[in-house]
Amino acid sequence: MSKAFTREQDASLDEEDDGALPPLPAGGKNYITPQGYARLRAELLHLIDDERPKVVEVVHWAASNGDRSENGDYLYGKKRLREIDRRIRFLTKRLEIAEVADPSVHHGNDQVFFGATVTYEDQTTGEERTVTIVGIDEADSLAGQVSWISPIARALLKCREGDVVKLVTPSGAHEVEILKVSYPAPAA
């Protein structure tokens, strides 16, 4: 197998990894909160200004040591550099198409929109949960943040406190009652 073929194959694998997060819905926008946008931008700047230059320095030093084929610092450094560059490309693309939506404009509203923190009760199990509807790139289920394209968010969007909505899950349909809707207070 020629080296040209393996490099081409590696390049295609690099592009596939750009989709580490769920793809955006067709024709949809990449909604994101101001805090999420700031977090992604800070990560991008950290990679460009801090981490990448350090790795380039290590790779340069390792390359000057001679034989690169068995030089662990060089091989690992080149691999890490590809990972950083892939993440930079991904973040740049996502930030370019990001649509910042400030949820504080809905403060005091009882209808569910992007950025709402919703407390709901599963009528089947009686279990109460609280989720915040955020952008795809900032969702963290462990922190109670769900993407606006997730099944629960789609079921809750545009409903009001007191509404009972049907949530379809792999385990079957559930009815959930919206107990409370809140938004962050506007910045002063």
| CATH number, domain with residue 41 | 1.10.287.180
Residues 111 and 178 occupy one common structural domain: yes
pLDDT of 164 > 90? The answer is: yes
Integer angstrom CA distances of residue 66 from 43, 56, 70: 34, 16, 10
Alpha-carbon distance of 116 to 96, in angstroms, equals: 24
Reduced to 3 states (helix: H, G, I; strand: E, B; else coil), residue 111 is strand
Residues 66 and 115 occupy one common structural domain: no
Measured at the CA of 93, the angle between CA 116 and CA 89, to 5 degrees, comes to 125
| pLDDT confidence of residue 63 | 87
Q: Rounded to two decimals, what is the model's pTM?
A: 0.77
Residues 107 and 92 occupy one common structural domain: no
Token pair 């350090």 is found at 54
Residue bearing the bigger pLDDT, 71 or 98: 98
Contact 130, 144 (CB under 8 A): yes
Residues 61 and 43 occupy one common structural domain: yes
What's the number of domains the chain is made of?
2
Q: Check residue 168 and report its DSSP letter.
A: E
Alpha-carbon distance of 79 to 163, in angstroms, equals: 51
Alpha-carbon distance of 13 to 129, in angstroms, equals: 38
Domain boundary among 47, 74, 100: 100
Domain boundary among 76, 100, 124: 100
pLDDT of 47 > 90? The answer is: yes
pLDDT of 4 > 70? The answer is: no
% of the chain exceeding 90 in pLDDT:
60
